[in-house]
């Protein structure tokens, strides 16, 4: 077996093992992990003024944004960002804001 084939086989085994363990450890009705959404602070400087439909991947209404700090907004310095946490409600089968 060539070295690349051995490496591919090893990667396949290593990635399959955690998935099996994860599937066995989680109940069937477990909710997905919370999501953190983050956007740049609007020109007003207020997170209450955030309107970012493109950032909202879960279909949740706008709102519940608060100010935080993110390195990604300016790779050398970081800067203020607006963030919010979304959680999945198993009862309604919808995402909601925290």
From 12, 16, 13, select the one nearest 24 (Cα to Cα). Answer: 16
Range in 9-13, 48-52, 79-83, 90-94 with the lowest mean pLDDT = 9-13
Residue 38's beta-bridge partner residues?
Answer: 83
Give strand ranges (E) for the chain. 35-40, 66-70, 79-89, 94-97
Instruction: Looking at mean pLDDT, say which of 3-7, 10-14, 59-63, 67-71 comes out highest.
Output: 67-71
What pLDDT was estimated at residue 98? 85
Q: With a cut of 60, say whether residue 24 has pLDDT above it.
A: no
**How much is the mean pLDDT over the chain?**
76
Whole-angstrom distance, CA of residue 63 vs CA of residue 25 = 34
Whole-angstrom distance, CA of residue 16 vs CA of residue 11 = 8
Find the length of the chain.
Answer: 98
Average pLDDT over residues 57-74: 90
pTM above 0.75, yes or no: no
């Amino acid at each position: 077996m060539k070295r690349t084939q051995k490496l591919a086989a090893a990667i396949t085994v290593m990635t399959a093992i955690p998935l099996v363990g994860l599937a066995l450890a989680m109940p069937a009705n477990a909710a997905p992990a919370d999501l953190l959404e983050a956007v740049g602070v609007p020109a007003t400087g207020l997170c209450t003024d955030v309107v970012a439909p493109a950032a909202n991947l879960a279909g949740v209404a706008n709102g519940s944004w608060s100010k935080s700090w993110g390195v990604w907004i300016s790779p050398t310095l970081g800067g203020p960002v607006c963030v919010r946490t979304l959680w999945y409600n198993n009862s309604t089968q919808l995402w909601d804001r925290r």
